[in-house]
Amino acid sequence: MKTSVLVVVDIQTDFCAGGRLAVPDAESILPVVNGLVATFERVVLTQDWHPPGHVSFASSHPGRRVGDRLALPFGEQLLWPDHCLAGTAGAAFHPDLRLPADALVVRKGVHPHGDAYSAFFENDRTTPVGLEAMLRSLGATEIVLAGLATDYCVLQTALDGRRLGYEVTVVESACRGIDAQGTCATAWRQMAEVGVRRG
């Protein structure tokens, strides 16, 4: 018997309109996501939770700008505006997101020298973030993904989920991407190649 868990990725104010790293049209998914939340017994929310001076911030690298790519020990890092600073309003979940009382929360990007798009592993691909332990505790065999952004955190969480043996469905109408230079199309292709279902 399948045990399905809804994983809602990074629906935080900094990723929505007026935020420091707003994903285009992000708020339009909220009714769909809230509808999904209402149908699942088990819900996990992921939350970017960065310390000041985080390695992903362009401001942490003098002379670098947002959009630059930097070679780091764990691989290439794309530099972003300062966003989702731990404990700030920008890191909070969007106020219109339905939050079940028993929802679990995975915080990622919490270490100053390591970024984490995936809720399973940091970008070094080995350091656990916390989602796997939660799913094991829930007896999950399948995850359904919704949230932001399709081409970054949703993508990497989906890929890692498949790598770990979970059945994975990404609900297209419940996601939005940054989609710079066709990155969403590339993301969907990558997910299809490893057996992620497009719901």
Q: What is the pLDDT of residues 16-61, one digit of tens each?
A: 999 999 999 999 999 999 999 999 999 999 999 999 999 999 999 9
Confirm whether 112 is domain-assigned.
yes
Task: Out of 10, 82, 151, 160, pick the active-site residue.
Answer: 10
Q: CB under 8 Å to 122, separation ≥6 — which residues?
A: 74, 108, 111, 114, 115, 116, 128, 129
User: 134 near 104, Cβ under 8 Å?
Assistant: yes
Confirm whether 10 is domain-assigned.
yes
Confirm whether 59 is domain-assigned.
no
Confirm whether 96 is domain-assigned.
yes
* pTM for this model (two decimals): 0.97
Task: Out of 48, 82, 108, 115, pick the active-site residue.
Answer: 108
Task: Out of 16, 84, 153, 175, pick the active-site residue.
Answer: 153
Spell out the alpha helix ranges (H) of the chain. Answer: 30-39, 131-138, 155-163, 183-193
Domain residues for 14?
4-53+82-198
Q: Residue 1: is its pLDDT beyond 80?
A: no
pLDDT in tens, 132-177: 999 999 999 999 999 999 999 999 999 999 999 999 999 999 999 9
Domain count, the chain: 1
Confirm whether 109 is domain-assigned.
yes
175 flagged as catalytic: no
Confirm whether 110 is domain-assigned.
yes
Q: CB under 8 Å to 161, separation ≥6 — which residues?
A: 120, 143, 145, 168, 196
pLDDT on residue 181: 87
Confirm whether 128 is domain-assigned.
yes
Confirm whether 68 is domain-assigned.
no
108 flagged as catalytic: yes
CATH code of the domain containing 102? 3.40.50.850
82 flagged as catalytic: no
